[in-house]
Amino acid sequence: TTSSTSTLYSTYPYWQCAHQSKLIIVIPIKLFTMIVFIGHKVIILFT
């Protein structure tokens, strides 16, 4: 999951702006990791 989170950091430029508020960062990280995790499961299922 460390590689996927690092790609999320680079792909979302607003991350650098939002670093002042921890809450703004923590919620999207949880959402994006869930989406990535579900997406990987879906890809595995359909391949």
| Domain residue ranges of the chain, discontinuous segments joined by + | 14-46
Q: Write down the pLDDT at residue 13.
A: 56
**Per-residue pLDDT tens listing for the chain (47 residues):** 555 555 555 555 555 555 555 656 677 778 888 888 888 887 777 76
Q: Write down the pLDDT at residue 47.
A: 62
CA distance 16 to 2: 18
Q: Write down the pLDDT at residue 21.
A: 59
Cβ atoms of residues 32 and 6 within 8 Å: no
Q: Write down the pLDDT at residue 35.
A: 85
How far apart, in Å, are the Cα atoms of 29 and each of 14, 23, 32, 45, 47? 12, 10, 5, 24, 27
Cβ atoms of residues 36 and 42 within 8 Å: no
